[in-house]
Structure 1
Amino acid sequence: MKSNHILYVILFLVLISCTREENPKEQFLKWVQKGKITDKIQCKTDANITYCVFIPTDYDVSKTYPAIYAFDPHGSGRIPVNLMKNIADSLDYIIIGSNNSRNGLRQEEINGIVNTLFIDTQTKLAIDPSRIYMVGFSGGARVACMIAQAKPGIKGVIACSAGFQPTKKTLGFQYIGIAGTQDMNYLEMRQLNLLMDSVGIQNQLIVFNGKHRWPNESTVGEAIEMLTIDAARASNRIEDKNLATKFAKENLSRIEQLIDSKSTDSLALALDIAKRTLQTVDGLIPTDELKLTIEQLAKNQVHQLGLT
C-alpha cells in the first residue's frame, strides 16, 4: 500500500509538471527577458514569420496587459519596439514589432503575416484582448489602419506620417495621427484630420518639428499616454486619474513656454496642444484651466488674423 501511495504521488507530480510545461505563456518566458528587447521570435506555425518583442519588467502571466503591434515600412521590428520600450515599461504595455511586414508586399501577403502574428503572440503572451493597439510609420501606418478597419476589437491606432481612407462615419477605434512639419505627407495628415473633424469622427493629430521619419520617444510616448487615458474612462482607478492629471499638467507647462515665445507658429501649436489635451482628459479631471487657456489662445489667434 505504501509503495502504491508513493507511486500515486509521483504520478500526480508528473502530471502537474506536464501541465505547467504545456502552458505556452510560461514557456515563452524561457525565451525572453522581462524589461528587455528580444529581437527575433519565430511563429510556431511559420518559422519565416518573426517578431521583435518587449515585455514589461512587472510582467506576470497570471495577469493580462495591453499590447501594441508595430509596423515599420522596412520590416524592422526593433526600431519601433526600441522607440516605445521606456513608456511601455512605465505603463505596463507589451510591444510587438513585425519583422516581415514591409512596403511592396501584396495585400494577401500582409494579411497572412498579420494573422499568423496575431495567433502566435496571443497564444504566447498574456495580452488583454480589450486593449490591442496598432502603431505604424509611413507604409506601416497604412498597414496599422488597414488592420484596425478589418479586425473588430482593435482599441486604437497611432498612425505616423501616412493616413488612410475612412470607410465609415464611426471608426470603432481611437485614432491618433502624428506628422512632422517638414514631412512629405504632412498635408495629407492635416487634410485627414480636418476631414474627420468635419464629419464628426473623433481623432487627434500631433505635430512635431521634423521630416518624414519615426517621431521621437517623447512624441510617441504622449500618444501612448493618450490611448491609456482614453482606456481609463472604463475604469475608476486612482492611478488612471493620476496619469490624466500628470498629462494635463505637463502639457500646460509646454503651452506656457510656447506662449512666452510669442511667435505666431508657437501660439498655433500651443492651441493645438491645449485642444487635444482637453479632448483627452475631459470628464476625468477638472478642466477649467485648460478651457480658459483655449479661449485666450483662440482670441489671440483671431486678433492676429485681423492684423494680417
Structure 2
Amino acid sequence: MKAIILTLFIVMCSTLIAQTPGQVIDTVASEHDKSQSYAVYLPSNYTADKKWPIIYFFEPAARGSLPVVLYAKVAEELGYILACTHNSRNGSYDNSFKAADALFLDTEKRLSIDFDRVILSGFSGGSRLALSIAVISKAAYGVIGVGAAQPAVPAYMVLKKKDFKYAGLVGARDMNYLEHKIFQSQMNTLEMDNLLLISNFTHKWADPIDLRIALLWMEGDSIKFQEAVKAKIIAERDSIPLSDIIALDQLLKNETFVITDSKQVKKTLKEESKVIKREQLLKKIISDSINSAFDLSSLNNPSINWVTRRAEKLKTQRAKSENIQEKMMIDRLLNYMSAACYETSLQMKSQGFTKKALVGITIWESVSGFPIYGHWLKARVFAVERDTPQALKHLEAALKSGKIKKESVFREPDFEGLYEDPRFKELIEMYYN
C-alpha cells in the first residue's frame, strides 16, 4: 500500500472527468477501485488543456461532499480542483491509504492536474492522515491541517525538515488548540514554512475565510494575503486569545494592532498562561477518569458518574463565567471529553468490546447532548454484534430525526449485514421513499 502512495503522483494522464465544471459532483465512482468513490469540484472555467492545482481532502467521518461543498466558492475564486474520498475515515490507516490510493489514481487519470501544486488537507483524523501522506509520499506542495496536527505513528510524523508548506487551522475552543501551537513551535525549530490561523470555533472544519488565507499564503500572493489577515484581525480581535491576535498582527508588514495599554496586555497574557496550565491539569484528571470508565466496562460505575457530573459542572460554570479565557478553556475540555469518548467507543467497537463501546457512547451523549447521533452510534455497535433487533431499534430512532441521509446509511459498512432484513428495507422505504 505504501509503495502505491509513494508513487501516486507519477501518473499524468488527463482524461476529462465526465461532469459539469462549476458544480459539486457528490459521487464519482473510482475506475481504479469500484468499491471507492469521491466528491469533486471543477472550477467553472476548467479546461483539460491547462494544468490545475488540486486540494485533496480527507474527512474523518467519510462525508466526502462536506469539505467540497464548504470550500467550492474559494476554489472557484482561486482556481482549484477539489476532491474528497467518501471512504476514508478515522480508524485504520490501511483503509484510509486504500481510499487515498483510489482517489489519487482516479483523479490523476481523469483530470489535468498541476503536480507541482498538490495540496493535502483534512479535518481531525483526516488532518493527521493528510500530514502522514505528505511525509511518506514526498509529493505534496502544501498541507492544510484542520483541527489536528501530528499523527501518533512515528513513521508518519514530521521529525525532520520537509519540503512542503504547512498551514494549521484550528479553533480557540477546539480541544486540539494547544496541539497546533506546539506543532507550530516544532516546525519553527525545523525552519519549515508554516502558518497558524486561530478562529473562534470548536472542533469542526475551518471557515472558508481561513482556507482562503492559507491558500493565498501558499501562493505567495502578498497583497491579498495582507488584506485578508487585516480583515481577520478586525473580525476576531474580541473573540480569540490576545496572544493569537498579536501573532496574526505579526504576519502584517505594517502593524495594525495598536497596544494602547502595555500593562493590560501583560496582565491578559499572564491570565491566558494561567488558564492553559489549569486546563492541562483538569484534562489529565478527566482523561484518567475516562480511562477508568472504560476499564470498568459497566454502565453503572463511579467513573462514568464522575465524568458526566464533571461535564454538567463545566457547563454550569461556563454559563456563569464572564471571562472569555475561561469560557474557551471549558469549551476545549468539553470538546476533549466528547471526542475522547467518541473515538474510544469506536475503537472498542472495532475490537469487539460491546459493553465498553456503549460506555463511551453513554458518556458522549451526556457531554455532547446529541441523542440522535447517539442512537446512530448504538445502531452501528449492535449491527456489528449481529444484534439485529437492537440495531434496527436505534437506527429507526436516528432516522426519525430526518437528519440522517440515505447515502450515509448505505455508505456505513457496519450496516451491510442488515441490507436483506425485511425490517431494514421497511425503514428505508418509510423514511426515504
Alignment TM-score, normalising by the size of structure 2:
0.54
Q: Is the 8 A contact 2:128 2:149 kept in 1?
A: yes
Cross-structure match for 1:246: 224
Letter aligned with residue 36 of structure 2 = I
Matches within 5 A, 1:181-220: 181-220=172-211
**Mapped partners of 2:219, 2:190: distance in 1:** 25
Cross-structure match for 1:68: 55
Q: Is the 8 A contact 1:169 1:200 kept in 2?
A: no
- How many angstroms does 1:168 deviate by? 3.6
Cross-structure match for 1:110: 96
**Mapped partners of 1:33, 1:205: distance in 2:** 35
Pairing 1:158–2:144 present: yes
User: 2:210 is paired with a residue of what secondary structure?
Assistant: helix
Cross-structure match for 2:68: 81
**Mapped partners of 1:244, 1:71: distance in 2:** 28
* 1:267–1:163 CA distance, 2 compared to 1 (3 A): closer
Where structure 1 has 5 or more consecutive residues not aligned to the other structure, the ranges are 1-22, 230-242, 279-286
Cross-structure match for 2:247: 272
Q: Is the 8 A contact 1:55 1:94 kept in 2?
A: yes
- How many angstroms does 1:85 deviate by? 0.3
Letter aligned with residue 247 of structure 1 = F
- How many angstroms does 1:201 deviate by? 3.0
Report the identity percentage. 29
Pairing 1:50–2:42 present: no
Pairing 1:101–2:88 present: yes
Alignment TM-score, normalising by the size of structure 1:
0.74
* 1:301–1:82 CA distance, 2 compared to 1 (3 A): farther
CA displacement, residues 217-258 of structure 1 (integer Å, 9 cap, x when unaligned): 2122222222222xxxxxxxxxxxxx4212213423444676
User: 2:71 is paired with a residue of what secondary structure?
Assistant: helix
Cross-structure match for 1:25: 15
- How many angstroms does 1:188 deviate by? 1.3
Cross-structure match for 1:281: none
Task: Count residues with an aligned counterpart.
Answer: 252
Letter aligned with residue 48 of structure 1 = S
**Mapped partners of 1:118, 1:253: distance in 2:** 35
Q: Is the 8 A contact 2:22 2:42 kept in 1?
A: yes
Q: Is the 8 A contact 2:195 2:214 kept in 1?
A: no
User: 1:114 is paired with a residue of what secondary structure?
Assistant: helix
- Between Structure 1 and Structure 2, the one with more strand by share is 1
Where structure 2 has 5 or more consecutive residues not aligned to the other structure, the ranges are 1-12, 152-156, 271-433
Pairing 1:119–2:119 present: no
* 1:256–1:187 CA distance, 2 compared to 1 (3 A): closer
**Mapped partners of 2:105, 2:262: distance in 1:** 50
* 1:127–1:258 CA distance, 2 compared to 1 (3 A): closer
- How many angstroms does 1:131 deviate by? 0.5
CA RMSD of aligned residues (A): 2.5
User: 2:186 is paired with a residue of what secondary structure?
Assistant: helix
Q: Is the 8 A contact 1:258 1:267 kept in 2?
A: no
**Mapped partners of 1:110, 1:266: distance in 2:** 35
- How many angstroms does 1:203 deviate by? 1.6
Letter aligned with residue 177 of structure 1 = G
**Mapped partners of 1:131, 1:74: distance in 2:** 26
